[in-house]
Amino acid sequence: MKNPDLITAVAGCSTGIMCVHYPGWQVTFANKCMRRILGLPDGEFPAVIGDCLRYCKIYGHGNLELVPGLLPSAPDKLLALCQSPHELQIVSSHGQINHYHLSASPVSDHGSDLTGFILIFTNIDSYKSLESDLTDTGELLLQASIRLHRQSITDSLTGVHNRMHILNSLRREIERVRRYPSALSILMIDIDHFKTINDRFGHPTGDSVLKSISQCLASTLRTVDMIGRYGGEEFLIILPSTDLPGAAIVAERLCRLVSDCHILADHQVTVSIGCAELSPDDDIESLITRADRELYRAKASGRNCVAAGNNWACQHSS
């Protein structure tokens, strides 16, 4: 640099600027900010670029190797910096870490031969801090979104799917069967004499019974099966790829399981189950209506039993 006004302006610049001669890598200029970045004592000036590592450590990212030689003897990688800045860390002798963007501008003589580079070190600490804050905030927002989604599809008392989600799941399964024909059945389950349980033992015990039964039912289902609280003491189970006889077998197993669970010491808790298989003419309302009809038939037959259509007699749990 030979222009006095330019030297004065650059010397007081808040961005680190260094001029390097090529091919000898002699440092011909380093402004005050650059010397502060490198941790150089007052009055000391790096003779060659390697002297920059005397009071600090410089760590690059990607393919630019800055330790221990700071820069390669060939200018290729510096020329790459002319296209886009490169992020690096400078660690002072006291352990302080600062982040910079390093960019380079080539200097050529009148014959267009490369004679050096102007290196520009721009502090990006505030950007990195913001980036870290945004990353943390993004992670918090993601976790909050996951929690809100789970809450939106889960019955808060029992932990199984809520009514809205189980019905939406049933609609999707019906649409799937229409596109790719296969069997689909549902079970409508009701806790027998649940009002008596509430009246005799209190609502907290009734809530406990609902939790226990939902866990008992869910624990025996396949991964593809879905269970949701339909309302009050009723549960709806979706059984993909299951015809009516298969659904009745599942229902009988669930009926026996609940009866054998001994949920209350002084009262046998049982369920009644109605089964229905999707027919070509069914929509979601008609399918649920038929399962409901079978549920009432099971209750009318003495409860603690399964009903599954006219060709399937009501079977009591043994």
Residue carrying structure tokens 């649940």:
194
Q: Where are the alpha helices (DSSP H) in the chain?
A: 4-11, 32-38, 76-81, 125-153, 163-179, 194-201, 203-219, 244-259, 284-300
Given 65, 131, 175, 233, the catalytic residue: 233
What whole-number distance in Å separates Cα of residue 121 and Cα of residue 128?
15
Q: Where are the alpha helices (DSSP H) in 95-162?
A: 125-153
Q: In this structure, which amino acid lies at residue 307?
A: A
How many residues are given for the chain?
Answer: 318
User: Is there a catalytic annotation at residue 175?
Assistant: no
Q: Do residues 120 and 104 lie in contact, with contact meaning Cβ atoms separated by under 8 Å?
A: yes
Nearest to 172 by CA among 226, 218, 231, 221: 226
- Whole-angstrom CA distances from 163 to 41, 68, 239, 263 are 72, 64, 16, 24
What whole-number distance in Å separates Cα of residue 83 and Cα of residue 103?
8
What whole-number distance in Å separates Cα of residue 274 and Cα of residue 295?
4
So which residues are the catalytic ones?
233
